[in-house]
Structure 1
């Protein structure tokens, strides 16, 4: 039996698509060992009521230390990434050797699939002489740009520490759409020292990525033809979305399924779905403006407010709307929500996983990016694909209630955006049916695994 070890970067937007890929591998007969950090393993197992595998699933969850102490901040993604690169290779090698020695080697690993943000792990894979593959849970455009960092330096766009030399638009290649130096992912996180550290971490990842020829990506030719032509090594196998057959084993919080019954009671195409991913935290003033903006929009809304976001106690301003016209939950079964006929639009942080789920369900976006690659994803949605609108920041960097109402009205009143969203859904979903490009690419990968 083909046995695959899967190593995601420890963030919800990375774990989710890799878990969807794991379920897909299992459906094709593979055994999958899914490796979370110890911190996230506890969260996932708790959300699954203590289980490390589900009945009938060939996916098993195990854990590995991330190198941080119990009280250190796992939302400091740069600190977490650097800690893992320093401490995890030895632990990962031990896990692999232990698995390979079980039952006299009968459960040996066939291949190790690592998240592109963990590409340093391919050095361990190469050392042990095992097949390795890369998985990209970000846009192909970001990876194509990061694979051409030396060109950006030579063209005078960035310096050797990744900081922009000149501001404004640039192109990695004429085949790709324009990008903006203001949206360079490493320049959208923390202070200059953090940004410099992240840039050099990305340089290291880009180098390690070339230790394998298999770069699987949660995207499609229809969405990113230009980026894929610039970086032909990237093999699109998306969209990777939750399978109806398997309950996801990758959620950090338990999903509140009561929201689906609530959606059943709402008129078609009427609900504003609001979710900002697993990391974003809002200023109390901004939270209040968002709540009042949703009230002004006078539409039913479903709002996800994570338990760890310190926002639950700040929502008194909208508690009075909880009920017929509003539903506030701690975590949602997002793909099920986005596929529901009651949902009219998605107010999103524009993480790539959320982007792919929204596009795959034909839901128009209102874009509210938080950091990193999310700002570039917003440009894709609004400027390249034209499937949504962005918000304008006002006084003191706050998006006002009036701006929120204005953009909700504008989006829901624009039938062209809705038509484009439905057409894009058709195109991307056709890529995973039998004979579709993503389906064919996945089959190629499976053939290689079984060699």
Structure 2
């Protein structure tokens, strides 16, 4: 009998691909073969970004299926993407599994699907394959989705997901507060997109009931109330390459590893690391204000500036900016973030507060400066600032701009107050302890592996 063979399929977005790819690499270490299914569009991006150091080996077989959109269509339009996915991908996934099982390779013995594409669990159920739902974000975010029927019954939202009135809610007294304006589905795109995302979340809540396991890239110690509220959600995180002494993979852009050598030249705890994930887009004015704010701090900074971070096709930086900061700054298109955050020269993390970034920052004891953009990022900011006390948020001015003065002020506050660093180090120990021998996530993961192999 050969190795057990798992098919893993993420929601087609960077923040979903990376943690599931990390889980896939853990499974390989535990003795599994893995078929990893990206969309055709993302498959090309991932393979183009690979380098020798993050070669995932023969145990993970990268395959692809279409997402239903033309290559030229905008995949940042999550409403259009979600509709296309549901229309095309279930049938294509079923065809792929049947084809694999009819070939000479080992049959698929289990499917691990992102909870955000619950239809994949239904495909696995139809084919009689054991199945697990994987949630790559905060358990509190999943708890919010699972609480949608109650939010409707309590007249907090209507049947289309829109707030009946503006208010702040908590699912339990010790969980982070969430503004109804910042519910995951109410701060994405236009009204049409918001309706589609809400409908997808409702559908996924029903689909996940066919999962044998519901696992989550979090840890009990960081959000105990969410796991108490929904005990069927089992934490197995944080899933980090550093925990298995390996390299992370699944990025959509090639990493600029030369920035690590630049970090080697900086004083300990001196560098502001600035990165906004894969979706955040700045208008020209806000981008320039951010650049000038970083310059105003008079501190070294490493800034990840994706090619599509602004709408501008011309040079978006303020005139003369790059020359003025050249001696103490580095701008890169994409960074090996886990290695950056573990570097001793990094003092704080100016972040969009995506969950991967949140876990990576916490696991390395780095304080945060929070600049959420959409979806779950506002909830994560509440965790960081209000519950964990590990950072500060920014306050926009009357026109909605976060000014250069506000940026400098918050950087100074975080770096001058030792309590933020002390708290970040406490959280680091919590996160690391959970995935070591005897920790809650470690036990859950081992139980999950035993079930997958049975």
Matched, 1:267 2:267: yes
Contact in 2 for aligned 1:66/1:87 (Cα 8 Å) = yes
Q: 1:46 to 1:315 in 2, by over 3 A?
A: same
Matched, 1:5 2:7: yes
2:134 counterpart residue number? 135
- Relative to structure 2, which stretch is displaced further, 353-362 or 191-200? 191-200
Contact in 1 for aligned 2:115/2:208 (Cα 8 Å) = yes
TM-score (normalised: structure 1): 0.96
- Distance, in Å, in 2 between the alignment partners of 1:396 and 1:22 is 44
Q: For residues 342-365 of structure 1, what are the alpha-carbon distances to aligned partners after superposition, in whole Å with 9 as ceiling and x for unaligned?
A: 000000001111111111111100
2:229 counterpart residue number? 230
1:27 counterpart residue number? 29
Q: For residues 251-287 of structure 1, what are the alpha-carbon distances to aligned partners after superposition, in whole Å with 9 as ceiling and x for unaligned?
A: 1111000100000000000000000001111111111
Q: How many residues align?
A: 447
Q: Secondary structure in 2 aligned to 1:134?
A: strand
- Give structure 2 stretches of 5+ with no counterpart: none
1:330 counterpart residue number? 333
- Distance, in Å, in 2 between the alignment partners of 1:419 and 1:151 is 38
Q: For residues 398-442 of structure 1, what are the alpha-carbon distances to aligned partners after superposition, in whole Å with 9 as ceiling and x for unaligned?
A: 110000000000110111111000011001101111111100000
- Relative to structure 2, which stretch is displaced further, 7-16 or 40-49? 40-49
Match 1:37 to one of 36, 39, 43: 39
Contact in 2 for aligned 1:176/1:230 (Cα 8 Å) = no
1:153 counterpart residue number? 152
1:164 counterpart residue number? 163
TM-score (normalised: structure 2): 0.95
Contact in 1 for aligned 2:69/2:84 (Cα 8 Å) = yes
The CA RMSD measured in Å over matched residues stands at 1.6
Within 5 Å, which residues of 2 pair with 1:105-116? 106-116=105-115
- Distance, in Å, in 1 between the alignment partners of 2:155 and 2:185 is 17
Matched, 1:345 2:348: yes
- Distance, in Å, in 2 between the alignment partners of 1:81 and 1:55 is 28
Matched, 1:180 2:179: yes
Q: 1:173 to 1:409 in 2, by over 3 A?
A: closer
Contact in 2 for aligned 1:350/1:377 (Cα 8 Å) = yes
How many angstroms does 1:176 deviate by?
3.6
- Distance, in Å, in 1 between the alignment partners of 2:249 and 2:58 is 10
How many angstroms does 1:316 deviate by?
5.1
Contact in 1 for aligned 2:176/2:379 (Cα 8 Å) = no
Matched, 1:63 2:64: yes
Q: 1:396 to 1:336 in 2, by over 3 A?
A: same
- Give structure 1 stretches of 5+ with no counterpart: none
Matched, 1:299 2:338: no
Contact in 2 for aligned 1:177/1:226 (Cα 8 Å) = no
Contact in 2 for aligned 1:360/1:428 (Cα 8 Å) = yes
Q: 1:349 to 1:120 in 2, by over 3 A?
A: same
Contact in 2 for aligned 1:26/1:57 (Cα 8 Å) = no
Q: 1:411 to 1:55 in 2, by over 3 A?
A: closer
Q: Secondary structure in 2 aligned to 1:447?
A: helix
1:78 counterpart residue number? 79
Q: 1:94 to 1:340 in 2, by over 3 A?
A: same
Matched, 1:256 2:256: yes
Q: For residues 103-158 of structure 1, what are the alpha-carbon distances to aligned partners after superposition, in whole Å with 9 as ceiling and x for unaligned?
A: 1xx51011110011111211111100001100001110111111111111111111
- Relative to structure 2, which stretch is displaced further, 128-137 or 315-324? 315-324
